[in-house]
Structure 1
């Protein structure tokens, strides 16, 4: 007998740790998964789901809830990670059944979106409603080593680093909204110290910071944030880091398009973000303040995303009935919708949409970012 459900107790959670450690052996250890949840004070058993075959946990998937920004608005997102199936039970569709059940649960619990990162291609997740959006990163080179005054964070710097993060990401689409507790938990489960943060200061104020890790002999820069007007400081800090002994290799770094470090740097496609929504009309209502600021004054627009439809007015988002009038009609696929929403009109491959003046106003370039430290 196969049962799809949430785990019920810590004993089942420990068995999930065992499964994840076995399946992801060589990439992450069992301890990694245990630390990730045990040191997260917001963790709830209801976010860990399993397919149980008789007494065996055949498959398990984890939901990582977080809040993100679209403009000034907040959305609740269910991050999907730790998708694993015991090799004895593969090919039976258990992980997809879990995802279907999780999507229904997230819908019922007022989640707005779900996001995952696929390392196994996209077809598996497209079959349960996820749509892919290309992600980009930028090339960075290890520089010849020089003696520099690379400065690491101190205990009393961490609060200031949080403020720099908050200021830089204030209206950055896709960015994770972090509380002080989130910061504390994240640093704990990632096993970080103050030496994972290098900073640059002026008059004791942190102007910019880098968050990095050296794991298995490989350097990754996870965040690069700076205060308004502090582009020069960010550039200097990044150069110091790349020329330091802490930079072990060339690397790629994910950045928003308007970041100072993107200038004169090669852009490459790296990874795939896969999105889905649960209630299109409710999502558009929630984003009403965003669209009100962007709407052309004199237009009434029917906006249709496959089978879902709303009417956009200057002052409100309306759910359409059988009868409605409009000035313009726009048709998009779900994939195109997520490209427009999370990146802006310039990101879609649909030339007709890219050249549409209304689409350009409704979905301007977003310069969005979800920093790698928030990945799941």
Structure 2
């Protein structure tokens, strides 16, 4: 490791990072969406390991601001952790992550979040797996819509109405991101895989609900939704439409519904059969105990509790929308 340099990149090196990441899925554009369109991407939060002028490993940090009752958390979203095949087995990724994590407090982060299947690997770096619930709906149910709402594809002109619904609906939920107009416009370009099916429901020519879905993990996944007060039925209709379309080509649909039991019961009443899935593949880590404790108004020792994430983000009532992944 003596010849390996751990550092962040200059703005001119973004293409070199994308060339490295292209080895992962043989799809440079998959990663370019995030590095080009996420307004929080910054070269000084793009970490690389370099040896003799060649980039061997990288990860990026994407800034998210999460609602938490009367305050918000500055979250370092760690993504795109990758090492070229020829350099694996040398602990380069571990060393790079260890280095990067020491830099995060200097950027004003409270906590860090990542999505992973290598739970033990990231646990050694201080991350803790946290539980969230997904509702799984198997194909087979015959869906009939009521016709009360006009359901159509999202159009650019709908963004203002959708944004208002998001702020009203998601604004009351722990764990959702606070979005600026720039964040919205960027996220609409990278949240799909690579595309998304974005549906809106109209009542008297007014958008009153929306639901966004894409293919993930081989399933049809509803990434996010929201509805205006009094229009729960519009959400149910949208989810039924997604189910009818998505399960034609996929072995089921996944939706975050733990915080929305009335919608779940309405879907079951319309013939859908659900099974609760426990997702433990998102992991959290405290970056700055002092900053986090100050925001929460608790002693520093309290943020070292093994129940911290269960208390901050209860699986039954909090939501981090899948559309905000990185």
Instruction: State if a TM-score over 0.5 links the two structures.
Output: yes
Tell me the C-alpha RMSD between the 2 structures.
2.7
Return the offset for 1:115: 0.2
- In structure 2, the gaps of 5 or more residues are 269-273
SS state of the match for residue 64, structure 2? Answer: strand
Inter-partner Cα distance in structure 1 for 2:59 and 2:116 = 13
Query: 2:65, 2:72 within 8 Å by CA — same for their partners in 1?
Result: yes
The residue correspondences of 1:114-125 to structure 2 (distance < 5 A) are: 114-119=112-117, 121-125=118-122
Distance 1:282 1:39, change over 3 A: closer
Query: 2:30, 2:194 within 8 Å by CA — same for their partners in 1?
Result: no
Equivalent residue, structure 1, for 2:8: 6
Among candidates 26, 29, 32, match of residue 30 of structure 2: 32
Inter-partner Cα distance in structure 2 for 1:226 and 1:196 = 17
Q: Deviations over 1:26-47 (max 9, x none)?
A: xxx1111112211234421111
SS state of the match for residue 309, structure 1? Answer: helix
Return the offset for 1:135: 2.3
Inter-partner Cα distance in structure 2 for 1:214 and 1:130 = 27
Provide the TM-score with structure 1 as the length reference.
Answer: 0.75
Q: Deviations over 1:244-281 (max 9, x none)?
A: 47853312122342353333532111242211112223
Return the offset for 1:110: 1.5
Q: Deviations over 1:314-339 (max 9, x none)?
A: xxxxxxxxxxxxxxxxxx86442112
Count of residues in Structure 1 that have an aligned counterpart in Structure 2:
312
Inter-partner Cα distance in structure 2 for 1:91 and 1:155 = 47
SS state of the match for residue 178, structure 1? Answer: coil
Return the offset for 1:227: 1.9
SS state of the match for residue 318, structure 2? Answer: coil
SS state of the match for residue 369, structure 1? Answer: coil
Q: Does 2:308 correspond to 1:337?
A: yes
Equivalent residue, structure 1, for 2:226: 225
Query: 1:115, 1:274 within 8 Å by CA — same for their partners in 2?
Result: yes
- In structure 1, the gaps of 5 or more residues are 292-302, 311-331, 348-364
Query: 2:129, 2:280 within 8 Å by CA — same for their partners in 1?
Result: no
Inter-partner Cα distance in structure 2 for 1:43 and 1:337 = 28
Q: Which has the larger radius of gyration?
A: 1
Query: 1:141, 1:242 within 8 Å by CA — same for their partners in 2?
Result: no
SS state of the match for residue 170, structure 1? Answer: helix
Return 208-217 or 127-136, whichever deviates more: 208-217
Q: Does 2:82 correspond to 1:80?
A: no
Inter-partner Cα distance in structure 2 for 1:206 and 1:153 = 10
Equivalent residue, structure 2, for 1:52: 50
Q: Does 2:237 correspond to 1:239?
A: no
SS state of the match for residue 307, structure 2? Answer: helix
Inter-partner Cα distance in structure 1 for 2:60 and 2:258 = 27
SS state of the match for residue 49, structure 2? Answer: strand
Among candidates 118, 126, 129, match of residue 126 of structure 2: 129
Return the offset for 1:243: 2.6
The residue correspondences of 1:345-364 to structure 2 (distance < 5 A) are: none
Return the offset for 1:340: 1.5
Return the offset for 1:218: 5.2
Inter-partner Cα distance in structure 2 for 1:34 and 1:192 = 13
The residue correspondences of 1:205-220 to structure 2 (distance < 5 A) are: 205-214=206-215, 219-220=220-221
Equivalent residue, structure 2, for 1:276: 285
SS state of the match for residue 150, structure 1? Answer: strand
Q: Which has the higher contact order (CA 8 A, sep 6+)?
A: 2
